[in-house]
A and B are shown apart, each in its own frame.
Chain A
């Protein structure tokens, strides 16, 4: 593996001579960057697409820039801001919603890919004063701190319990062929797609365990 190798950094059609090698070796930087000659990307108008979604039981007919994710559709177009944008790259879980009953990251799917789909967001589970049992359990067990990952955690946990019920195994299921058990380890593994930087995990598991116990 060589260090200090000359190479070029590039940024979309724009070549920049960098001093990376020079920086590493203490040598002189490149005197002058050169601007790339590549043509500008076309300033094409966004393709608008029609899509119809059923969100929390309510049908919405929308015309959207095809690039609009399901998450941004909820947050920016329907003003359902309960679903959060923590990373926009499927790396945190704050955007978790249920589509036709299954939990997904709404940041990694386009709204137009969900024609006719039933979407359930945190707003569809319960409201202040009329909390879903999982929401109430999160309050009781202090299963949150800043609250930003919380809607995602709650949506994920509701769908997760359904997955266990449906017999979907997990990474920590000891016996693949047996029905999965409702243990703390199972809950932890299955909820690992929802990061909580405040670190409320221990309490979240207790909240979920209580709700699962009541359902069982």
Chain B
């Protein structure tokens, strides 16, 4: 199905199943521990051995030698595979650092060997027996130091954010110089770790030339392509299966070492091998969200209208890596005739930086939305009103492009109303409750809506059950459920009559889970396949498909009705299709919007910040399932609290690695950090987006939260912190004196 004109009325608009807060269909399995994750597929292949990965002990340099004698002789050891045993493997299309790089070490904990043994305990012990001799080389690990000479570089993360190296509209410098009210400030965001609860894990089994990988991966088609490329085998010989993913957040978008190690180990062992990265390996072996240094300049008239806005971001990455596109939202969020955005990239020898939930916008808004708060303060304007004043309904760089839908102002206004924003004291540091300094902050949320083709296969059986097959993944996003809702709606079935099978590369290739594009695109693909199936059903039963009504498990036209299953016959009826897009995304800017509101308490003695209330009002197209969509948003808000207050991969700038590489020292929020969270979805259906009229929401929920927290801390204390995370040490010197 080609989607090249705005959607008109279609079966989804019935909203009998779609749009309802249906409990997740995979819930009973997840809550009983019977949903199988990658490392748990005991049934998938017999006689599995255990692989344990050894990571490089230096950040940069060369492996001089590896002595595996002791490891090979250790009890239970089946095989030892080292990176010196073979030429460096080819690099996957989405990988920056080699996953098994030969003698060259490109980053700390890069995989250099895998030990295979009969048991987990034996494999872990054997891996530690491999003696490695290194010739270390000096590396560059300090972004601030490298930023000074960092060249301009365009960015396009695989997750969809993109920005040219430099973009100019009008004459920023002149307009900024002429502006009566100006802000020029620099903000920093740290390296962050996805820290999904399930560490990267894979089981590999070879049958002749073909390998099957039971794995934990967000993007099955990319993984299949890149594993084939890495191993130098035809893609047809690779199968990936990933029906349940224990969290991804971008950390499992790409082929990672677990899959490669499992495949190599299984080949060497001559039997299936399972591999999981250890928690302490995850931070340095896999990817992370790169740190940024962002300079923002805003010039405005005394009326509060922005006349000049510049956002320049510098980040670091390995050679051939890309910059964090932190300026992305600044190109689109606010009006202003004179504009400048730029990206600079410093070459560093830290682990690979890559997409993490809302790459670009998440760190970009952490900076921009503090800047907006600061400007509002300079102008003496309410932060909500300042943003409303500078709203734009068109792409400010290309005014001929309208937004397909843009309800930012409504998000902000409704949020302010619901949150009791009028009770905020505009003068910071003046509301005190006991030992708590209390403040409110807000920020705009923004994340683009991306369109990408997505295919599905649907099969009708004689019982009237429709089975959907697509390689789409459910990483906690609710894909199983919204896909079932889509098929049920389109085929006129109760949701119980739909079976959804996901994550298998033998299924038609979907959009996958990334860039908050999964929900809209994958369901649109399922919708396309179902429409084809309707056609086939109508034809089979002798209905004119234009007249046929699919409802309550039946096909009806005029006085005639037939149960759906009747069309299936003995062999069933199968249809496959994909959604693909025309140029609507070029003609219209498609984005999602939010207003984030936060209230914090800051301990007047110690500077500890605790979030007391949170609200997000979101405009993100049709909400396919308000229950699971709300969960996406509260989860993202939670991640935003972590980014604001605690999360920072601490860089050892001498040794070149992330020091706090476990969950005790890289502090993500716990229960006690998160209050009750409110989410409101504005009524919206976007016919420009897809036949589903939906957009994504899973990343929008994160975008802006960090700044809302930062702004609330400022409101509570009068202290402006521009360096995340806002830990108490950054407040302590400026808190009120204590007796």
Chain A directly contacts chain B within the complex, with at least one CB pair under 8 Å: yes
Q: Is the CB of B634 within 8 A of A11?
A: no
Q: Is the CB of B197 within 8 A of A94?
A: yes
Within B33-60, the residues touching A (CB, 8 Å) are 33-37, 39-40, 42, 57-60
Question: How does the 8 Å CB contact mask read for B110-122 relative to A, with 1 for contact and 0 for none?
Answer: 0000000001111
Which listed residue, A145, A150, A201, touches B674 by the CB 8 Å rule? A201
B136 within 8 A of A: yes
Of A3, A18, A135, most B-chain CB atoms within 10 Å: A18
A188 within 8 A of B: yes
Interface stretch of the complex, out of B287-295, B416-424, B623-631: B623-631
Q: Which residues of A have CB within 8 Å of B59?
A: 23
Give the distance in Å from the alpha carbon of A145 to the alpha carbon of B122 in the complex.
34
Within B1-55, the residues touching A (CB, 8 Å) are 23-24, 26-37, 39-40, 42
Q: Is the CB of A202 within 8 A of B34?
A: no
Give the distance in Å from the alpha carbon of A42 to the alpha carbon of B513 in the complex.
47
Q: Is the CB of A89 within 8 A of B664?
A: yes
Query: Given A20-B654, A29-B61, A145-B631, is A197 in contact with B249 using a C-beta cutoff of 8 Å?
Result: yes
Give the distance in Å from the alpha carbon of A4 to the alpha carbon of B653 in the complex.
11
A146 within 8 A of B: yes
Q: Which residues of A have CB within 8 Å of B718?
A: none
Give the distance in Å from the alpha carbon of A205 to the alpha carbon of B618 in the complex.
23
Chain A residues touching B, majority SS:
loop
Which listed residue, A32, A147, A148, A197, touches B26 by the CB 8 Å rule? A147
Q: Is the CB of A11 within 8 A of B132?
A: yes
A45 within 8 A of B: yes
Q: Is the CB of A144 within 8 A of B31?
A: yes
Interchain Cβ contacts under 8 Å between A and B, 5 examples: A29-B138, A123-B33, A146-B245, A148-B246, A148-B247
Within B74-112, the residues touching A (CB, 8 Å) are 74-76
- Measured CB to CB, the closest approach of chain A to B661, in angstroms, equals 11
Q: Which residues of B have CB within 8 Å of A36?
A: 131
Q: Is the CB of A92 within 8 A of B663?
A: yes
Q: Which residues of B have CB within 8 Å of A196?
A: 197, 671
Which listed residue, A79, A195, A205, touches B197 by the CB 8 Å rule? A195
Q: Is the CB of B634 within 8 A of A199?
A: yes
Question: How does the 8 Å CB contact mask read for B464-488 relative to A, with 1 for contact and 0 for none?
Answer: 0000000000011110000000000
Question: How does the 8 Å CB contact mask read for B578-603 relative to A, with 1 for contact and 0 for none?
Answer: 00000000000000000000000000
B73 within 8 A of A: yes
Give the distance in Å from the alpha carbon of A17 to the alpha carbon of B490 in the complex.
66
Q: Is the CB of B34 within 8 A of A128?
A: yes
B177 within 8 A of A: no
Query: Given A29-B137, A192-B672, A201-B638, is A146 in contact with B198 using a C-beta cutoff of 8 Å?
Result: yes
Assign chain B's interface to a size class. Answer: 35 or more
Q: Is the CB of B634 within 8 A of A203?
A: yes
Within B188-233, the residues touching A (CB, 8 Å) are 194-199
Which listed residue, B58, B476, B634, touches A18 by the CB 8 Å rule? B58
- Measured CB to CB, the closest approach of chain A to B689, in angstroms, equals 23
Give the distance in Å from the alpha carbon of A126 to the alpha carbon of B31 in the complex.
9
Give the distance in Å from the alpha carbon of A87 to the alpha carbon of B247 in the complex.
14
Query: Given A92-B197, A92-B663, is A122 in contact with B631 using a C-beta cutoff of 8 Å?
Result: no
Within A11-47, the residues touching B (CB, 8 Å) are 11-12, 14, 16, 18-24, 26-36, 40-41, 43-46
Give the distance in Å from the alpha carbon of A172 to the alpha carbon of B673 in the complex.
13
Give the distance in Å from the alpha carbon of A58 to the alpha carbon of B628 in the complex.
36
A180 within 8 A of B: no
Query: Given A32-B64, A88-B279, is A151 in contact with B33 using a C-beta cutoff of 8 Å?
Result: yes
B162 within 8 A of A: no
Q: Which residues of B have CB within 8 Å of A23?
A: 59-60, 136-139, 141, 654-656
Chain B residues touching A, majority SS:
loop
Q: Which residues of B have CB within 8 Å of A193?
A: 670
Q: Which residues of B have CB within 8 Å of A147?
A: 26, 29-31, 35, 244, 246, 476
Q: Is the CB of A131 within 8 A of B630?
A: no
Q: Is the CB of B636 within 8 A of A199?
A: yes
Q: Is the CB of A81 within 8 A of B36?
A: yes
Of A23, A30, A189, A193, most B-chain CB atoms within 10 Å: A23
Which listed residue, A86, A194, A205, touches B199 by the CB 8 Å rule? A86
Within A157-194, the residues touching B (CB, 8 Å) are 172, 184, 187-189, 191-194
Give the distance in Å from the alpha carbon of A36 to the alpha carbon of B70 in the complex.
14
B668 within 8 A of A: yes
Q: Residue of B at shortest CB range from A190?
A: B671
Q: Which residues of A have CB within 8 Å of B33?
A: 80-84, 121-123, 150-151
Question: How does the 8 Å CB contact mask read for B666-690 relative to A, with 1 for contact and 0 for none?
Answer: 0011111011110000000000000
Give the distance in Å from the alpha carbon of A79 to the alpha carbon of B34 in the complex.
11
Give the distance in Å from the alpha carbon of A9 to the alpha carbon of B29 in the complex.
46
Give the distance in Å from the alpha carbon of A11 to the alpha carbon of B108 in the complex.
14
Q: Is the CB of A85 within 8 A of B39?
A: yes
B236 within 8 A of A: no
Give the distance in Å from the alpha carbon of A86 to the alpha carbon of B26 in the complex.
20
Which listed residue, B61, B195, B631, touches A200 by the CB 8 Å rule? B631
Q: Is the CB of A148 within 8 A of B65?
A: no
B133 within 8 A of A: yes
B337 within 8 A of A: no
B186 within 8 A of A: no
Query: Given A30-B136, A33-B136, A198-B476, is A81 in contact with B70 using a C-beta cutoff of 8 Å?
Result: no
Q: Which residues of A have CB within 8 Å of B135?
A: 29-33
- Measured CB to CB, the closest approach of chain B to A183, in angstroms, equals 12
- Measured CB to CB, the closest approach of chain A to B401, in angstroms, equals 34
Q: Residue of A at shortest CB range from B656?
A: A23
Which listed residue, B34, B37, B131, B676, touches A148 by the CB 8 Å rule? B37
- Measured CB to CB, the closest approach of chain B to A133, in angstroms, equals 11
A149 within 8 A of B: yes
Of A26, A91, A125, most B-chain CB atoms within 10 Å: A91
Q: Residue of B at shortest CB range from A92?
A: B663
Give the distance in Å from the alpha carbon of A195 to the alpha carbon of B194 in the complex.
13
B171 within 8 A of A: no
- Measured CB to CB, the closest approach of chain A to B30, in angstroms, equals 3
B639 within 8 A of A: yes
